[in-house]
Amino acid sequence: MHHKPILIVPGQINSIFFEIFFKSLKKKKFRSPLVLICSIEIFKASAKKYKFKGNYRIVTSKINTVKLHNKAINIIDVDFKENKNNRYYNKFNSDYLFRCFSIAFEIIENKFTHKFLNGPINKKNFLNKRYLGITEFISSRFKKKNTGMLIYNKNLSVCPLTTHLPVKLISKNISKKLIHNKLKMINDFYLKIFKFKPKIAVVGLNPHCESILKYNEDEKIVAPAIRFSKKNNILASGPYSADTIFLKQNRKKFNVILGMYHDQVLTPLKTLFEYDAINLTMGLSFLRVSPDHGPNEKMINKKISNPISLIKSLEFLDKN
């Protein structure tokens, strides 16, 4: 059986990616060919540092003309020299990263594969305030307005309605339409990828879904959006109080918990599963996955980083 290749942009240079990548290959074999899009010099230096002895070969970015196989790492070499005339140039390797992403996107647009993984990236430095996050950067590149972040674990996943917004902007960006669209997106994604209809809990915005103010978003926005979604055959319920929904007896009733903002649902999920979760982007025409952790600069060179999230990310793409 022919397996589509997995395109991998390792992400920023100063990160734990290559350590966990080489650990992943030692622990697990993947059926899909792996195509790294990065500087061959950086790859070689990392392989030497982490004593990786596996095979690799350089391939052209026109990879549809090359017969890829999974017995070696396929590398599309991207020149690391920074172009100071490029608008993405800065000392954080943004120009280099942008070129890596561009090559991956072109390959995806040519329909050679639908599997894409990017390693950890310091969003603030790379995106330089142009986008809220990598999800938004990729969505914009493919002209997709309705996308969503799903932090996935087979026991329980979470989705933030708003992503990397400052707290004071959250309430202004919540709407019935956005909640319904996100619930439909989760429902459609689960049906397509996992072949079942998920049970989704929706968390309220305010503590205990109550407010001392006259206007309560949970009554005026969240509850009506849930009622509308239920009428449209989505298994959604709530709003639930954020401080109790993650209790064991409550969370086991659901496949996904939709929160109103990033930390409301990501903090408890990471407490429960630590690195045993992956970041999926819903609403794209291809599969985009990222390990659910950052570059972790403090752990570089310590050689003790946990590869579980990257292994789960590669396993997900390998199966699909």
Which domains, from first to last, does the chain contain?
1-144+284-301 (3.40.718.10), 147-283 (3.40.718.10)
104 closest CA partner among 13, 21, 6: 6
Percent of the chain with pLDDT over 70: 91
* Residue 244: pLDDT over 60: yes
pLDDT at position 3: 87
- Could you read off the pLDDT of 104-135 as tens digits, one per residue? 999 999 999 999 999 988 777 777 667 778 88
Question: Looking at residues 29-40, what average pLDDT do you find?
Answer: 95
* Residue 300: pLDDT over 90: no
- Could you read off the pLDDT of 192-237 as tens digits, one per residue? 999 999 999 999 999 998 888 888 999 999 999 999 999 999 999 9
114 touches 286 (CB < 8 A): yes
* Residue 63: pLDDT over 80: no
Residue 311: strand, helix, or coil = helix
307 closest CA partner among 15, 7, 12, 19: 19
Cβ neighbours of residue 76 under 8 Å, at least 6 residues apart? 35, 36, 37, 38, 58, 59, 60, 61, 63, 103
- Could you read off the pLDDT of 168-189 as tens digits, one per residue? 999 999 999 999 999 999 999 9
pLDDT at position 241: 96
The most confident of 54-63, 217-226, 293-302, by mean pLDDT: 217-226
Between CA 314 and CA 115 the distance in angstroms is 10
